[in-house]
Amino acid sequence: MSTSEERRPAWLDQQFWERLDRIETHHQRIQSEHEQRRRGLDSSHDTHEADLRLAWQRYCEVIVELDRMTAEFETLRGDPR
């Protein structure tokens, strides 16, 4: 058993930890994608309007997904079972 597993409260079952791990992994991926899209917006000031519109659309899609993942974290925090 790893050190992190030893510190996990016993009253939370394995299903909770698996769900938390899955949400954290997805959240990290979305945060990374958010940063990439933001950098894309920063660097697109020299591009055409259509490119900027597409970059903005992608950025907004990532924000929606990031908000969804944050809501899942809050749900899990409020009801860990």
Q: How many CB atoms lie within 10 A of CB 56?
A: 14
The predicted structure's pLDDT at residue 2: 46
Average pLDDT (65-75) is 87
Rounded (10°) angle between helices 49-78 and 14-43: 160
Residues 6+ away with beta carbon under 8 Å from 31: 66
Domain ranges of the chain: 13-78
Query: Is the confidence at residue 65, as pLDDT, over 60?
Result: yes
Length of the chain: 81
pLDDT in tens, 35-60: 888 887 766 666 677 777 888 888 89
Q: How many CB atoms lie within 10 A of CB 30?
A: 19
Q: Does the global pTM surpass 0.85?
A: no
Asked if residue 54 lies in contact with residue 37, where contact means CB atoms within 8 angstroms, the answer is no
